[in-house]
Amino acid sequence: MGMDRPRRPLETTTPLRGVEFHILLSLAAGERHGYGIIQDIQARGETSVPDVGTMYRALARMVESGLIEAADRRPAPDAGDERRHYYRITRAGLAVAKAEARRLEALTRAARLSGLLPKGAK
């Protein structure tokens, strides 16, 4: 399975959906399981945390397009040591995440220049 899976070209992956960028953000820091990613999103102070279904559809999509890949199934300390599916970011995923971050940074800078954000605030 997965050998002849078509890969989405990089340029068509950005801009990412919010949930996808969140996933990449989480995985950039290390392998996570699904609920772990949701917890990360909550921790980032996002007001609307994605539903489980939304997130797993995103995960499936991103596995298909090669941005992330399934790591092994192993006991999760935060889930009472039950076994969970872990995911990790791929090199392509990392590249996409960086590109998206740069895009967002440029947008933020533009927002600041046009007075939408206070200048000087970090």
Give me the residues that bind another protein (CB under 8 A), please: 4-6, 33-35, 38, 51-61, 64, 78-80, 82, 84-85
Return the exposure string of 72-85: e unless at least 16 CB atoms fall within 10 Å of the residue's CB, then b.
eeeebeeeeeeebe
Contact 100, 15 (CB under 8 A): yes
What minimum distance in Å lies between the beta carbon of 28 and another protein? 20
What minimum distance in Å lies between the beta carbon of 95 and another protein? 21
Closer to another protein by CB, 73 or 109: give it.
73
What minimum distance in Å lies between the beta carbon of 84 and another protein? 6
Chain centre distance of CA 108:
19
